[in-house]
Structure 1
Amino acid sequence: MSHENRNTSDLKSDKVKDYSKYFDFSDAKLISQEDGKSTYRIKGRNIQINAAPSYRDEKQRGKEDVQVLYDFAIPDDMQEFGQGKYYLIATYGCQMNEHDTEVMRGLFEQMGYRSTEDKHVADVILLNTCAIRENAEDKVFGELGHLKALKAEKPDLVLGVCGCMSQEEAVVNRIMQKHPFVDIIFGTHNIHRLPVLLKDAYFNKEMVVEVWSKEGDIIENLPKKREGIRAWVNIMYGCDKFCTYCIVPYTRGKERSRRPQDVLAEVRELARQGFQEITLLGQNVNAYGKDFEDIAYTFGDLMDDIRKIDVPRIRFTTSHPRDFDDHLIEVLGKGGNLVEHIHLPVQAGNTEVLKRMSRKYSREQYLELVRKIKAAVPNAVLTTDIIVGFPGETAEQFEDTLSLYDEVGFDFAFTFIYSPREGTPAADMEDNVSMEEKKHRLYRLNELVNKHSKLSNERLLNTVVEVLVEGESRTNADVLAGRTRSNKLIHFTGDKSLVGKMVNVQVTHAQTWILKGEIVAQPIQLSI
């Protein structure tokens, strides 16, 4: 990994391409090709394409150098561009998308924009999208339909689509063909180019498409606007696992780890600013450091260094069981500010199904990993992700998922019905489980999830838990809400001055998804 400094505003493209082969331009006319850009006329509007997504390119994992760049700055002519203007970002999907939104908020505010939640006030609206599930895409296209009328009322409104959906060929083609009122389309690798793309769209009055299929460099020193008492810190980008159902390796690219000194410096600065909880982010956080060629430094090493920083709580997500090594388990066993909650996606409880998913571990290996974690971290609280109705999953194989859930005793699971994602290997498999059966399996699994969640909460009755107070309850302004170290939501009565602080709460009621309690002055027997 190189540290060469080059201009972070540079367009990362090879040469001018004929993009008509990528998209179904039934009435497109090529107007010009210059400076690495191709401009087409389609449906009465000019479309400037700087770079476009390609499934073929996204599948390739070349050895080209990923560079770490430290020279980012807002272009001079854009530093006050947003004075008197407002931006709105609608975020869909995972914590990684939330963190990307924090970066874009930072960029907007350095350009002079102010935030708004009112789309009628906004001068720029961005939809930061998720591509994991089909219904996530449906929500975005539904919102675009609603925004079409607003765009007609406010022609100067700049409307953009970014994030994981933008990395898909079919999505970009659909937007260009059916939603030509969109002004900007960019992906996950070139967020730092937002000021340049915004300028092009605003002044040229044409749609600007810039989606890099090949991974971007690691751009340090990007501005971020964080709010609240919790902070997310990206430690790496991309994923090399290529699970057969997953689009992420294509939309987020190959694994690229930030340098340890940069991660540690950011965490120390957040500690100085008073953040109470930090979550380390990556598509596969425990693969951190595997791409370093000059040092031997793993995720376990990073966690061991971060636990020495004065932050009350450190979390991480998401981890892959394949890369969850003994050194990491040993470090987690040291406790302290490393919380006991571990999210460990299993996806299925049958080895044959796991093999078709290309998860690269067996049922037995997963259970052995759980045993090791619980031996090192006695109070470990495990949560997971599970897909039901994967192609070829038999009734007996689904029963293995239920039995594994019982054996592990998960506190919670995010559960999903399998749906194919275009461009993934599983999309070519025979989807031979009926929707009726998928729904039946999901219902049975969710019943089991609810049962274990209730039992887990009931075990905390009459114990005292450490709670980070997040704010008022969504349903009752007189009640405070916070989370335990194990990420359980708890409601209790207290003064609003406690928001952002740690308090001890005795659990008095345990429901399936929520705890209720009362503040106590001193812990009797602190639980999790």
Structure 2
Amino acid sequence: MEINTLRPLHGAGRKLYVETYGCQMNVGDTEIVVAVMQREGYVHTERIDEADVILLNTCSIRDNAEQRIRGRLAELKRCRRERPGLVVGVIGCMAERLKEQLLEGAHGVDVVAGPDAYRDLPRLVRQAEAGGKGVNVLLSAEETYAGIAPVRLDRNGVSAFVSIMRGCDNYCAYCVVPYTRGRERSRDAATVVAEARSLFENGYREVTLLGQNVNSYRFGEVGFPDLVRRVAEISPLLRVRFATSHPKDMSDRLLDTMASMPNICRAIHLPAQSGSSSMLARMNRKYTRAWYLDRIAAIRQRMPDCAVTTDLIAGFSGETAEEHLETLSLMREVGYDFAYMFKYSERPGTFASKHLPDDVPEEIKSRRLSEIIALQNELGHRSNLRDVGREFEVLVEGTSKRDERQLSGRTSQNKVVVFDRGTHRVGDYVRVRITGCTAATLFGDPITEQGN
């Protein structure tokens, strides 16, 4: 940890607790926040009861995420009564969107910081401790936090997130991200590669490159396929994943790069949102069903063993019964291995909230979502059944939650495998033959252990 010895550290010895909600980007942001605060002398704790500063790193992408955070703030009100010096802050996307509401009312917090204001957090906390309110929700066109080494909070020491870009320029009709995280900007490729190399040298065996739309990454002459290759070239023992991809930017060049390098994982998260071209147009997704299926065909042709996962929304503005059926038919045609599935919830400030009515009745949204979930459960189970009898290289991440005599890890396709521990350890690559499965998990027997 870098410490400036020329001045006293305001947070010296004080405890920081951060609670993270939402996407992988927020997990990565929490690691940046802890790094910033440690420079000021704060000590990270996983026990909320001993914290001097509590920060909730929030998500605004769906209404239920915001409701969970409001409920958490109500719970923290008791902590603030019992510990008068406690500082409570809300950071991230919800802070950007709801500054005034968070500062006022029954659960008014002390600190509000948007996703581009984390370097300013020590000053904001000082303002709160002095009796004021610490507020900074300004968006930046340049901030990527490239100069900050995140503090890795994961416990397995095997897998890590590396943020390569921030913001989004797509402006999908339903999505609040461009308004809470600002425009796209990419990190210098050299800093990304250096961070990934440092992780590998410190024992990590997998990195996930993160961005709202990673495959639109560009820094100077370096595009996303070039960046992925440079990270994968660090070592054949370093697995490389990425999330999330936008279908309009899923290029043949990226797929060719993936196919040429075995340590780039055979797993692509490719959000469809809907299987209907008319619905995709209303969503401003900038591709059609035919384009999406062409990208799926390109993936299958180059990497037949590649897992494909997706996001799906039920009940967006004006969705007809026919459009819903097209989503179900897309699911069957692609055969997704996994999906994140949601009912549409209107987000204030988006294009849809201003121009498209939220006109699908709640009971119809719920019924359609239930149909999507039921179909995906069937597709996911079929996918796992196809793996029975096959062999996979599994990167061990930890002990099985159900049995300490077993280990748990993931295949290149990002599927969880549980198998007997034997002499294997966390961080090992283990060849495993799959002997059985549930809808969510594969079970197998280890064959040979690979070097790590």
Match of 2:275 in 1: 349
Asked whether the equivalents of residues 418 and 441 of structure 2 are also in contact (C-alpha less than 8 Å), the reply is yes
Residue 475 of structure 1 aligns with which residue? Answer: 402
SS in 1 for 2:49: coil
Match 1:304 to one of 218, 225, 229: 229
Q: Distance in 2 between matches of 1:75 and 1:167?
A: 30
Tell me which residue corresponds to 1:416: 342
Percent of residue pairs identical = 41
Partner of residue 425 from structure 1, selected from 351, 364, 369: 351
Give the secondary structure class of the aligned counterpart of 1:233.
strand
Whether the 8 Å CA contact 1:78–1:111 is kept in 2: the answer is no
Higher alpha-carbon Rg: 1
- 2:123 paired residue number: 196
> Which stretch shifts more, 461-470 or 132-141?
461-470
Q: Separation in 2 of the partners of 1:77 and 1:186?
A: 27
C-alpha separation in 1, matches of 2:150 and 2:378: 40
SS at match of 1:103: helix
**Cα offset, 1:507, TM superposition:** 1.2
Q: TM-score by structure 1 length?
A: 0.81
Contact 1:454 1:513 (8 Å CA) reproduced? yes
Q: Deviations over 1:129-178 (max 9, x none)?
A: 0011101100111010010111011111111100110111xx22211221
C-alpha deviations, 1:103-129, integer Å up to 9, x for none?
112223333332322222111110000
Residue 260 of structure 2 aligns to a residue whose secondary structure is coil
Confirm or deny: 8 A CA contact 1:78 1:195 kept in the other structure.
Answer: no
Structure 1 unaligned runs (5+)? 1-71, 524-528
Q: What is the CA–CA distance in structure 1 between the aligned matches of 2:449 and 2:213, rounded to whole Å?
A: 38
Confirm whether residue 437 of structure 1 aligns to residue 364 of structure 2.
Answer: yes
CA contact (8 A) 2:20 2:27 kept: yes
For 1:113, the aligned partner's letter is: Y
**2:429 counterpart of 1:508:** no
Are the counterparts in 2 of residues 192 and 222 from structure 1 also a CA contact under 8 Å?
no
Partner of 1:105: 34
CA distance in 1: counterparts of 2:302 and 2:213, whole angstroms:
21
Structure 2 segments unaligned to the other structure (5+ residues): none
For residues 208 and 146 of structure 2, the distance between their equivalents in structure 1, rounded to whole angstroms, comes to 18
Match of 1:156 in 2: 85
Instruction: Give me the whole-angstrom Cα distance separating, in 2, the residues matched to 1:82 and 1:505.
Output: 48
Query: Is residue 309 of structure 2 the alignment partner of residue 383 of structure 1?
Result: yes
Q: Take 1:493 and 1:285, find their aligned partners in 2: how far apart are those partners?
A: 36
What does residue 387 of structure 2 align with? 460
* Residue 356 of structure 1, CA deviation: 0.2
Post-superposition Cα deviations, 1:333-389, rounded to whole Å, max 9, x if no partner, equal 113210110000010000000000000000001001111111111211100000010
Note the 1:217-366 alignment, pairs <5 A.
Answer: 217-226=143-152, 227=154, 228-289=157-218, 292=219, 295-310=220-235, 311-366=237-292
SS in 2 for 1:279: strand
Q: CA-atom RMSD, angstroms?
A: 1.9
Q: Is structure 2 residue 109 aligned with structure 1 residue 182?
A: yes
Tell me the CA shift for residue 223 of structure 1.
3.2
Match in the other structure for 1:368: 294
Output one character per residue of 1:210-264: Cα deviation in whole Å (capped at 9) or x when no partner.
1104445333321311132111111111100000000001111101011111111
* Mean Cα deviation higher: 358-367 or 467-476: 467-476
Q: Is the 8 A contact 2:244 2:270 kept in 1?
A: yes
TM-superposed deviation, 1:455? 0.8
**Alpha-carbon deviation of 1:323?**
1.0
Which moves more between the two structures, 419-428 or 205-214?
205-214
Distance 2:424 2:239 in 1: 20
Question: Under a length normalisation based on structure 2, what TM-score does the superposition of the two structures give?
Answer: 0.94
Q: Structure 2 vs 1, CA of residues 502 and 246 (structure 1 numbering), >3 Å: closer, same or farther?
A: same
- The answer for the alignment partner of 1:448 in structure 2 is 375
Matched to 2:292, the amino acid is Y
Which residue type is aligned with residue 187 of structure 1?
G
* Mapped contact 2:124–2:133 kept (Cα < 8 A): no
Query: Contact 1:189 / 1:215 at 8 angstroms: preserved in 2?
Result: no
Distance 1:490 1:285 in 2: 27
> Secondary structure of 1:159's partner?
strand
Deviation at 1:405, TM superposition (A): 0.8
